[in-house]
A and B are shown apart, each in its own frame.
Chain A
Amino acid sequence: MGSVLLSSDWLIRPRPERRFVLKFSVASASAKPNKSRSLVDVLGLNLPSGNMDDPAKFLLRRLVRRIPAQMLKATLEKWGRLNAEQRESLNFSQSKWALTQELEALCEESRLTVKHIAELEMIYITENPNQMMWHAFQLLDPEDGALAVELMQFKELFKCHLRELVRNVSVKIKKHTDEAVWIRMSWGEGFSRLSHLNATYVVHYLQTPYVFVSGLSPKNKPLLLQVLTLSTKHERIKDANLSGRKLTAIRDLLLRQYEHVFPTKYPSPLTERNQSVSNLHTEKEQAEASAKRHQMAGQAFGNGVLPALQSAVYKLETKFKDPTNQTMTEQDEPFRCVVKFSSTNLLESLRHCASSGIASTPVAPLLSSIPLKGRNYFVITDKSPSANS
């Protein structure tokens, strides 16, 4: 198991005429483990039963638990490792526990290994990316030709560079429908077996300077970042300080795939109203103030639909300043605290706060930095105000 385990790439093709291609590959893939099994039998190695080893079973069980019952059938169909007959034999109305038993039996019958189960996981994660914590990284200093890197070249480069750095790793690369390249990686510890249970997922949109990573251990982080930098033909990579569960939201925020904010869109100081209804001075004043707040809120966050970012964290290490509290103001030490904003759609909430007056206008630079800089993690100190305002 200590050898290089670079499995073949695979592509999901949604178009029906390509199904045949996929089926061919199924046949050839299932033939290989068959051979290896007979070899194992000849050597007299005692494998429990079939070729589903424990990690494969464990992965399958965990996966079936994770996938909601109503999605299970469609996901298995897309997987394509079980033939139609086998899929029809499954009873999806029974409990998941019983279903897992049936699935295990079918997988053993088709001689599927942990690698195949990992494919199933990847299909599910690709379609439901909002279940994990994603961290964004930014690629810097593009080399010549960085913009010309296309899928095949990226794949080649990625595998080539990875092979130079680590041996015990399994990689699957595929292109998702929306032009994103998805990479699933399972890492092995030294010469031990690959751990398919804690896979790292990488999503990269070709020709953009951003990479989204999930499930990466600190140990493997430098390796992966280096490989990514090299294979996208950049010189540096840095933490973009943006993370969240909704991959689409953090992607839209960074790639600016939402309505942009142009200050020129809000040019007008309010035109004078008709003075004849003059006695309602207060109402007018309030309406003006309210319009002003709406305008300011729009300037900071735009008026369109905002990416559904769910949280933002600020680590404050600033001096406590309060004219009514002399003792604290005189202290030199910073006041340490952490503030976390969360909501189902944070930017929407903040815009509402500003336009309704809960937040003062113009919107505090710390808050407007989220859409402006595409970040949701900030460390604020007194020494470098430029870094955060």
Chain B
Amino acid sequence: MEKSRTSVTSTPISSVSTRRIRRRSFRQSTRSHFGVASRLGLTPGQTTHRFNTSRKAPKPQNITEKVSPEHLALLVKTEWHLCYVTPLYRFRHTQLKSYARQLSAFIAAEKQQGLGVEVGGLQDTFKVSMSVLQGLAETNDDPETVLIQVQSRPAFARQDEPLKTVWSGWLSCINGNPEYLHSLPKDFTCLPLFGSRGLEGLSSLVKSWLRSTFDCFFGPLDINQTTLRWLAALWTNCHMESNIQHLKMQWTLPAAPPLHVAYTVNSSDALALWRSVRKSRAADQEACIEIEEVTSFMEGLTSHFYRHFGVDLSAGDLNQVSTALGSAKVKGRMKISSSRYLISTLSLLTECAFLKIPI
């Protein structure tokens, strides 16, 4: 432990060497993904997807025309707990009503173990509704997003009181990798991104029902360091069109006790720095953003920090990035505050989920 620490310390301060460290960590993250694939003995031939080193700048979209306002209100401004899901076997978008009945019977059965429960019978404690959240799909290959909501009546409420939504979740695929989607056998539907909000117990019940019904697997979707850096850069880039107010990043350094650093940068200064590291200076909206640009943006921020405090942030972990447009935490929590960038953020997360799926 001491030795590895020394290697960090003896690193010269020049930005060239910090860049080397960044590159390495990035490469490791991609390699570990391939490690999973090769361990399963599957040919990665049909699965060429990997983490993009270049992506389009997020375009603000007026999504309100495509998605109903209720659905939109549900998606934005709440923090979602993210998971990845392997492709669902024999899932039909046309049978959502019957799925909802089965799921509510399942929840009722689990909640009152030992008693018989009739499928489709009157469940007075939990009511499940499943619906298609239309308008989110970007390409023809993307399966439509599915929304699941669990409603319940408070314990001592009267019969005529309205039900309260106690849990909501969705399964989504936005701008999914077309090659991968095409390579799937006929009976599989790929909705790799799962977001949930509400009681932890209900989350695990819904997940276990989906797991047994569609023979799929759930795993935690961590938003890794590279993705967080991407988000920091992409959100800063958005400041050209909509005010991000600030760019806030949080690091944790491995000191004893752990040292947390919150670094909040004024939005227009962050944008100025971002513009200075862009290769295509002509602020071309269509230009792609390269990973090198993201890296030098973060390097600029950390070197400014180092100049004042002599603390090397790359020794710690970036674990949260937030702006007025949303926030992302390393533990797989994501909040999207602006509907204009909903699609672009969900595409990025779909990509992360695809990387996690063991192929």
Contacts and interface: CB of A to CB of B under 8 A. Distances in A.
A314 B305 CA distance: 11
Contacts of B13: 360
Which interface class (under 10, 10 to 19, 20 to 34, 35 or more) fits A? 35 or more
Interface in B254-294: 254-266, 269, 272-273, 275-277
Interface string A282-319: 00001001100100000000000000000000101010
Contact of A331 (B261, B272, B315, B316): B272
B307 interface: yes
Main secondary structure of the interface of A (DSSP, over half): mixed
A349 B304 contact: no
Contacts of A356: 5, 9, 255
Given A324-B15, A337-B265, A358-B8, A380 B308 contact: yes
Contact of B269 (A336, A348, A361): A336
B272 A364 contact: no
A350 B259 contact: yes
Contact of B6 (A289, A320, A337): A289
Contacts of A366: 308-309
A336 B301 CA distance: 11
B237 interface: no
A32 interface: no
Interface string A261-293: 000000000000000000000000010011001
A338 interface: yes
Name the residue among B264, B300, B309 with the largest chain A CB count within 10 angstroms.
Answer: B309
A327 to B, nearest CB: 4
A42 B265 CA distance: 65
B263 A353 contact: no
Nearest to A354: B310
Given A343-B255, A353-B259, A367 B310 contact: yes
Given A344-B257, A357-B9, 7 more contacts: A322-B300, A349-B255, A353-B255, A358-B8, A358-B9, A367-B310, A367-B311
Closest 5 CB pairs of A and B: A357-B9, A360-B310, A327-B276, A336-B266, A364-B310
Interface of B: 2, 5-6, 8-10, 13, 15, 253-266, 269, 272-273, 275-277, 296, 300, 303-312, 315-316
Interface of A: 286, 289-290, 293, 314, 316, 318, 320-322, 324-325, 327-328, 331, 333, 335-346, 348-350, 352-353, 356-361, 363-364, 366-367, 380
23 contacts: A290-B6, A293-B9, A321-B304, A322-B304, A325-B277, A328-B272, A328-B300, A331-B272, A335-B269, A335-B273, A336-B265, A339-B309, A340-B261, A342-B261, A343-B255, A343-B260, A345-B257, A352-B256, A358-B5, A358-B253, A358-B311, A359-B311, A367-B311
